[in-house]
Structure 1
Amino acid sequence: MKYPRLLLRLLLLSLPAVLVLAAADVPAAHRPGCPSTCGNVDIPYPFGIGDQCAINPFFGINCTVVNGTEKPYKGPFEVTKISVHEAKAWMKMGISWQCGLDARQSVWSQYFTLTPFSFSYVDNKIVVVGCNTLAYMKSEPHIVGCYATCSDSIPKNGSCIATAGCCEAGVPEDLGYFEAYFNKNYNTSYGCGYIVVIEEKAFSYSTTYADQTKTEFWDAYKGQVPVVMDWVITRDDACNVATTKNQSSYACLSNDSHCVNSTNGRGTRCKCDDDIDECRTDPCAAVGSVCQNTRGHYNCSCPPEKQEINGICVAIPLSPPPPTAASAPWVKPVLGASVGSLVLVITITCVYLIQERRKLQHIKQRYFQQHGGMLLFEEIKSQQGIAFKIFSEAELQEATDKFNERGVLGHGGHGTVYKGLLAGNVEVAVKRCMSIDEQHKKEFGKEMLILSQINHKNIVKLFGCCLEVEVPMLVYEFIPNGTFFQPIHGNHGRQISLATRMQIAHQSAEALAYLHSWASPPILHGDVKSSNILIDRDYTAKVSDFGASILAPTDESQFVTLVQGTCGYLDPEYMQTCQLTEKSDVYSFGVVLLELLTRKKPFNLDGPEHEKSLVLRFISMTKEDKLEEILDDQIMNDENMEVLEEVAELAKQCLEISGVNRPSMREVSEET
């Protein structure tokens, strides 16, 4: 609850308003002036559409128009229902799959570790579907999965049996993230296998799922399954600890609410009392009526010996006629009480706002120090040549019109990018990240200092960052002409020549070679793709999103163990070893070369089975000496064939399964 209970009572005495409390059978509350729904989904407080309408940014909901319909999203996940009473939220999440002998796969990793959300172990279960499919979810310290076969058992609708192509396992308590894995030693001769975390009530096994020649399971859920998430207001303390501390630091401020421990790991939430006696302060006395308590509210009614005149109960006169309002004896006391109450309300509000401002300033200072802000600030002062600025949250709020949805330039796996306008009409791109792991948080200031010194004509310039928020924000130069993905795959009808494509490829390769070979220490991009190559007005390439990269590891303990990147571009060696190297960037760049040659997307789930993976189709065509069948008609002619064959050969080298057999980015830049 946002305000102290005393303040709400005084407001009831002085203003004709009705306070509605969130209870099991009372409609959920919303912040004044904030939208209450997105599409057909109710968005109750502490959630809100936009960070300003939520109790904190973790509960902010994006209301996005999809195919002409408004839908609420939390990060990349569609929200279908929110329950304040149960402290649950229903979301749609992806299906992890692996198909065929070549082990083509798409695996999802869901991360809620730094948020108030965790996977409900009561409402969800882990389900594996497929023949000879061994799959599991990994989340330290848990590894949970099962092995589904198709033996002699006859599958039955509604029965998930391990020997009939379906098995299931329970979700561990306090699960904040997971990574999906398949064991290839078991998926060797059958069709597709799947693993999901899914709401138990929403899953019913169908005998058609065992047909490995079709994708019945994927089609049944259209690629996304319902998942139930538990949420808490704070993950810091249990209720018995919270009651011993300064109450101002906890959300349960009202005398008519109580703290409830989370049933899923650490954390607490607030719950309104079942029946609050609203009449104990006699809010009807000021108008001379009798208070009658109801569930979640109260009613004021005049006693039999009085009648209501202009909302006030007045005694029924015998004679003479009733006095006018100006001469009535009760006017002055009521007016004086109202004025006094209003003054008291204003005073308490001012004190409350001052306390909240101080608390917010303390939180901002803590985040600033936590992200290495002092180290970064001192280094910027000592090295006068660094053109890098530490922005305040207020500056970026103003620059982006409070992160207005109309200014969104794009959404990615790491966050959302907004167009901004700084003082002096300087156009920038502001990246608002979704989350950051603890190790990266400790090294953030140091890494920003290194990234700020990158100065290459084909790399988007990092102007600065904002550190006084829970997840730092990055400020880049604004590139006006979109991404390389758009002219290659867009339905604009324009043609992009081979010369222009090769220019963009060469400049991008030079930028990556610079990060690998000349930056000190070397920097791995980690998410090379056509949508991360921006294009200037004169079609100059600018590699972007390197702020989500990592510094090249100096020893084995520093290797990244969390899967990052984009499906279709991921290095298969990285998927096996979880070790990101410069050769991982080389593989992803090889996929970009295939897009340049074919004008086809790296992965197409809607296409025929043999055409879903662009890399596999390209390798198959080159082995059969049918390269011309996959090339883009816009650039394929007799004059270009020699160049196209050379680029295809370079792409083939970049896409070698073993990283040691791939060229370096310096060699690739020389070849392009």
Structure 2
Amino acid sequence: MEFSFSRLLLFCLQALWALAAAADVPAARGRPAGCATRCGDVDVPYPFGLEPRCAINDGFWLNCTTPVGHATPTLQYINVEVTKISVEDGKAWLKTWMSRQCYNQSTNQVFQNNAWIGFAGSPYVLSADDNMVIVLGCRSMAYMLSDAYIIGCMSTCHEDVPLRNGSCSGNAGCCQADLPRGVQYYQGFFNDFYNTSEIWRRTPCNYVTVMESAAFTFSTTYLTSTVFYDTEDGRTPVVMEWGIARQTCEQAKINKTTPYACVSNHSDCVDNDYAGYRCRERRKLHRIKERYFRQHGGLLLFEEMKSQQGVAFKIFSEEELQQATNKFDEQQVLGHGGHGTVYKGVLKSDTEIAVKRCMTIDEQQKKEFGKEMLILSQINHRNIVKLLGCCLEVEVPILVYEFIPNGTLFDLIHQNHSRYISLDTRLRIAYESAEALAYLHSCASPPILHGDVKSTNILLDGDYTAKVSDFGASILAPNDKSQFVTVVQGTCGYLDPEYMQTYQLTDKSDVYSFGVVLLELLTRKKAFNLEGPEHDRSLSMRFLYAMKENKLEDILDDQIKNSENTEYLEEIADLARRCLEMSGMNRPSMKEVADKLDRLRKIIKHPWAHENPEELDSLLGEPSTVTSTSTTGNFSIAKKAAMGLESGR
């Protein structure tokens, strides 16, 4: 998958800081007298202002200008039009650019412009509740790429399915995907394999954009002409959330430099991990918690737990988890991922836990959440992190896991390159991780697909035993193709290219991602590196090129490169190559991967068996095809045959 960064349309909102709710801020901090409060048709509430002295700081100084060709002035921040600001809701409405891919009949080429929007360093985040990723087209596959996260969908048309105006959901020519929580920038791009070159007379263009859900109504004219782009001047409305300040409630209360905003007797402070703290009315907060609990299947989960005696699973209150994590203090953060933030916590019983606040949950997951939690809670494997419980009275359910003390595999192999890690240790961690995934695929009932296998989701306990974690992207294996997911989501560098083409998440998607983890262990290089040259950004592509050119040694980690390890490294690399096959059918199963890693571990661990074929057979659990191992060459043949790594096996 290739796309050009040179064609990106880039704009970046500068840092916006220390927002204050007008109703709760003392008068001394309010807007000075004589300040304008309106620009054209848009109200400009404090802390925003149209002059430097009228805004709380320079970050909220907005411009009121009349663009060329316009009769009335528009409100703008930098070059972005602001159409509405709500202090009460902590939201602002902007107009941002869409991405499009069109066929040019005069040049016989497909051209595209990929919009990129950024809010990094500001308290602004795209609202996951109000926005959707929208893709339009009759032969379009498009994505939103954001901070190591990809999400998108395929939009198609069929001759026997008529196009109709109205909702995008279930409609031909349009598809949509949920936006993850906490996104501060995104880049739209298209899969070049799907384009309008053969259907341009009927549908000239494809589009992808992030926009306000309530503002979008599908029209068939969006496909049959360029009216969607032309009418909106290439822009779509998007809703941003903002906080009063980039602080938690507790931090804001003790901060002496800025006033605490939630001073009303009728308001409570509510934390937002991404945009800062806000105030809500107390009565509303209680009703909201009850609604979330029912929405996430809390009542059903209670009944299931009663009927299944002995289930070690707990439904936590938000207050319990607030206390356990010191109100989700930043000092308690264990890590940030594509699906949420993980905090360390300690329960009243002194039990250490890991608390994951997820970013988003789609409608299907909401319906099945309680049921899936009960299934996941019954997973019992030494190399899988135990799910202890969940909290359902929040907008997006919070998951509670056992605490694993030694961090992630990513930390081990990438944070300190001078730290020595033996080949035996790397192989053991790979084998244990593969065993865990094989258990999920083959032994769990029903089977479970992880969906986001990567080195940050492999934890290490006190003995550096591998523990596969983070089932935020997991789904129960579908029974038939009609149940396959309709959107693509995952992590850059690990994402199965076949999954991106077909939207069919399978056990072989996990195999591909595990193959990338194997490469990290072999090379000590990251799966995806945005800062490197374009052809070197993907570790899997770099590895496959090295294998093709017979230059594997060029990318292996120096710590494990020596004459004694050469054959082992080649065989591990060959296994990784098979995991990275473009077609899932050509990849081994996770059970096969685990078995072969186990056999290789035994050979490395017991070098004395090399001289005795009978002992080698016993270790490998299967007969050797070679009767003599008096030479290194003969041993190599015996070893490969016993491990099932010869070509064609």
- TM-score, normalised to structure 2, is 0.58
TM-aligned CA deviation for residue 412 of structure 1: 1.3
Q: Contact 1:180/1:195 (CA < 8 Å) preserved in 2?
A: no
Within the alignment, does 1:663 sit opposite 2:588 as a pair? yes
CA separation in 1, counterparts of 2:210 and 2:284?
39
Aligned to 1:616: 541
Give 1:653's match in structure 2, choosing from 567, 573, 578: 578
Q: Give deviations 1:613-645, integer Å, cap 9, x for gaps.
A: 221222222222222122111101111112111
- Aligned CA distance change for structure 1 residues 440 and 26 (closer, same or farther; 3 Å): closer
- Aligned CA distance change for structure 1 residues 479 and 90 (closer, same or farther; 3 Å): farther
Aligned to 1:116: 130
Matches within 5 A, 1:181-200: 181-184=190-193
Q: Contact 1:534/1:543 (CA < 8 Å) preserved in 2?
A: yes
Within the alignment, does 1:470 sit opposite 2:474 as a pair? no
Query: AA paired with 1:541?
Result: A
Aligned to 1:606: 531
CA separation in 1, counterparts of 2:61 and 2:565?
56
CA separation in 2, counterparts of 1:359 and 1:613?
47
Q: Contact 1:42/1:82 (CA < 8 Å) preserved in 2?
A: no
TM-aligned CA deviation for residue 605 of structure 1: 2.8
Give 1:633's match in structure 2, choosing from 547, 555, 558: 558
Q: Contact 2:44/2:85 (CA < 8 Å) preserved in 1?
A: no
- Aligned CA distance change for structure 1 residues 371 and 197 (closer, same or farther; 3 Å): closer
TM-aligned CA deviation for residue 491 of structure 1: 3.4
Q: Secondary structure at the match of 1:548?
A: coil
Within the alignment, does 1:495 sit opposite 2:420 as a pair? yes
Q: Contact 2:82/2:93 (CA < 8 Å) preserved in 1?
A: yes
Q: Give deviations 1:581-620, integer Å, cap 9, x for gaps.
A: 0000001101111111111112223323432222122222
Give 1:88's match in structure 2, choosing from 87, 92, 111: 92
Query: AA paired with 2:382?
Result: K
Aligned to 1:60: none
TM-aligned CA deviation for residue 107 of structure 1: 12
Q: Contact 2:346/2:353 (CA < 8 Å) preserved in 1?
A: yes
Q: Contact 1:430/1:476 (CA < 8 Å) preserved in 2?
A: yes
TM-aligned CA deviation for residue 23 of structure 1: 4.2
Aligned to 1:28: 46
Within the alignment, does 1:229 sit opposite 2:238 as a pair? yes
Aligned to 2:495: 570
Q: Contact 2:153/2:486 (CA < 8 Å) preserved in 1?
A: no
Q: Contact 1:480/1:535 (CA < 8 Å) preserved in 2?
A: yes
Aligned to 2:314: 389
CA separation in 2, counterparts of 1:668 and 1:174?
36
Q: Secondary structure at the match of 1:495?
A: coil
Q: Secondary structure at the match of 1:651?
A: helix
TM-aligned CA deviation for residue 93 of structure 1: 11
TM-aligned CA deviation for residue 88 of structure 1: 3.1
Query: AA paired with 1:84?
Result: I
Matches within 5 A, 1:191-340: 229-230=238-239
CA separation in 2, counterparts of 1:446 and 1:635?
45
Q: Contact 1:20/1:26 (CA < 8 Å) preserved in 2?
A: no
Query: AA paired with 1:586?
Result: V
Within the alignment, does 1:374 sit opposite 2:310 as a pair? no
Which fold has the larger relative contact order, with Cα–Cα distance below 8 Å and residues 6 or more apart in sequence? Answer: 2
Q: Secondary structure at the match of 1:84?
A: strand
Query: AA paired with 2:446?
Result: P
- TM-score, normalised to structure 1, is 0.56
Q: Secondary structure at the match of 2:488?
A: coil
- Aligned CA distance change for structure 1 residues 173 and 374 (closer, same or farther; 3 Å): closer
Q: Contact 1:462/1:475 (CA < 8 Å) preserved in 2?
A: yes
Query: AA paired with 2:92?
Result: K
TM-aligned CA deviation for residue 187 of structure 1: 12
- Aligned CA distance change for structure 1 residues 92 and 653 (closer, same or farther; 3 Å): farther
Query: AA paired with 1:484?
Result: L
CA separation in 1, counterparts of 2:591 and 2:335?
30
Q: Contact 1:583/1:664 (CA < 8 Å) preserved in 2?
A: yes
Q: Contact 2:494/2:513 (CA < 8 Å) preserved in 1?
A: yes
Q: Contact 1:107/1:181 (CA < 8 Å) preserved in 2?
A: no
Q: Give deviations 1:60-89, integer Å, cap 9, x for gaps.
A: xxxxxxxxxxxxxxxxxxx99997279635
- Aligned CA distance change for structure 1 residues 174 and 19 (closer, same or farther; 3 Å): farther
CA separation in 2, counterparts of 1:38 and 1:533?
45
Aligned to 1:276: none
Name stretches of at least 5 consecutive residues in structure 2 with no aligned partner. 1-21, 49-54, 63-79, 102-113, 119-124, 145-150, 157-173, 181-187, 198-205, 212-234, 243-262, 270-279, 598-649
TM-aligned CA deviation for residue 508 of structure 1: 0.2
CA RMSD of aligned residues (A): 5.0
Q: Secondary structure at the match of 1:443?
A: helix
Give 1:484's match in structure 2, choosing from 403, 406, 409: 409
Within the alignment, does 1:459 sit opposite 2:384 as a pair? yes
Q: Secondary structure at the match of 2:486?
A: coil
Aligned to 1:435: 360
- Aligned CA distance change for structure 1 residues 173 and 550 (closer, same or farther; 3 Å): closer
Aligned to 1:71: none
Q: Contact 2:384/2:469 (CA < 8 Å) preserved in 1?
A: yes
Give 1:526's match in structure 2, choosing from 451, 464, 487: 451
- Aligned CA distance change for structure 1 residues 401 and 594 (closer, same or farther; 3 Å): same
Q: Contact 2:325/2:346 (CA < 8 Å) preserved in 1?
A: yes
TM-aligned CA deviation for residue 362 of structure 1: 2.6
CA separation in 2, counterparts of 1:483 and 1:490?
10
- Aligned CA distance change for structure 1 residues 588 and 92 (closer, same or farther; 3 Å): farther
Q: Contact 1:43/1:82 (CA < 8 Å) preserved in 2?
A: no
Aligned to 2:289: 364
CA separation in 1, counterparts of 2:237 and 2:355?
32
Name stretches of at least 5 consecutive residues in structure 1 with no aligned partner. 31-36, 45-78, 98-105, 128-132, 145-171, 189-193, 200-225, 234-345
TM-aligned CA deviation for residue 136 of structure 1: 5.4
TM-aligned CA deviation for residue 113 of structure 1: 8.1
Q: Contact 2:460/2:467 (CA < 8 Å) preserved in 1?
A: yes
- Aligned CA distance change for structure 1 residues 140 and 567 (closer, same or farther; 3 Å): closer
CA separation in 1, counterparts of 2:56 and 2:356?
24
TM-aligned CA deviation for residue 175 of structure 1: 10
